[in-house]
Chain A
Amino acid sequence: DGGITQSPKYLFRKEGQNVTLSCEQNLNHDAMYWYRQDPGQGLRLIYYSQIVNDFQKGDIAEGYSVSREKKESFPLTVTSAQKNPTAFYLCASSINGMGSGFRVTQYFGPGTRLTVL
């Protein structure tokens, strides 16, 4: 059963803590993405990776970090430098990366809701 999994579903963070959100896909997709969604707003791109061992900043990368050591995995760390991290975080993947000339849709995971205590 192919798809994208995110864990945990709910995450609570204390002030000053770093936390890591997991994203795994078994779709054999090259590209993976992290988005942030705030209430009543659309999704905003945090980071994306078009190939293993390479990633690029999106529109709101400050206070976040990522790694792409394996094709299947793209974890997101929310650092203490992110001043307002409470949000819904969505991971996505696509068979090809952006600007590849091959227009395909992105497939989304179920999301992780992060709350700062």
Chain B
Amino acid sequence: KQEVTQIPAALSVPEGENLVLNCSFTDSAIYNLQWFRQDPGKGLTSLLLIQSSQREQTSGRLNASLDKSSGRSTLYIAASQPGDSATYLCAVEDNQGGKLIFGQGTELSVKP
């Protein structure tokens, strides 16, 4: 059974720092991996989607990498800003029916 884990559960950094969020999954049989952002009490917004054949995707200050063989993904945020404060969730789409399996999320706080 696919399990997705995100470490750390919470992270606090000063503004301007570069940071890395981690996501690991137990079964490499995935179609893709996605990173989402969730603001408090709100829905999810898709940030990046990496297909299983890809190694990374970039959007602005965000870069997500995927190492399927080791079951790991990282989300790199450059020059963090207070507006980046949110919970970041990763999810894998398994290839046994295509369901999204979510991690527990990392709550990020960027201090001015």
In the assembled complex, the Cα of A6 lies from the Cα of B43 at a distance in Å of 10
**A41 touching B41, Cβ below 8 Å:** no
Count, A-B residue pairs, CB within 8 A: 58
Q: A42-B104, A110-B43, A113-B41 are in contact. Are A105 and B49 (CB under 8 A)?
A: yes
**B98 touching A100, Cβ below 8 Å:** yes
Name A's interface SS: loop
Q: Tell me, yes or no, whether B9 is within 8 Å of chain A by CB.
A: yes
Q: A41-B104, A42-B104 are in contact. Are A103 and B99 (CB under 8 A)?
A: no
Instruction: Collect the chain B residues with CB atoms within 8 Å of residue A107's CB.
Output: 46
- Contact string, A28-59, partner B, CB cutoff 8 A, digits 1/0? 00000000000011111100000000000011
Q: Tell me, yes or no, whether A111 is within 8 Å of chain B by CB.
A: yes
In the complex, how many angstroms separate the beta carbon of A48 from the nearest chain B beta carbon? 8
In the assembled complex, the Cα of A97 lies from the Cα of B32 at a distance in Å of 15
- Contact string, B80-91, partner A, CB cutoff 8 A, digits 1/0? 000000000101
Chain B residue nearest to A99 (CB atoms) is B98
**Interface range for A:** 20 to 34
Interfacial residues of chain B within 3-50, with CB under 8 A of chain A in the complex: 4, 9, 31-32, 34, 36, 41-46, 49
Q: Tell me, yes or no, whether A21 is within 8 Å of chain B by CB.
A: no
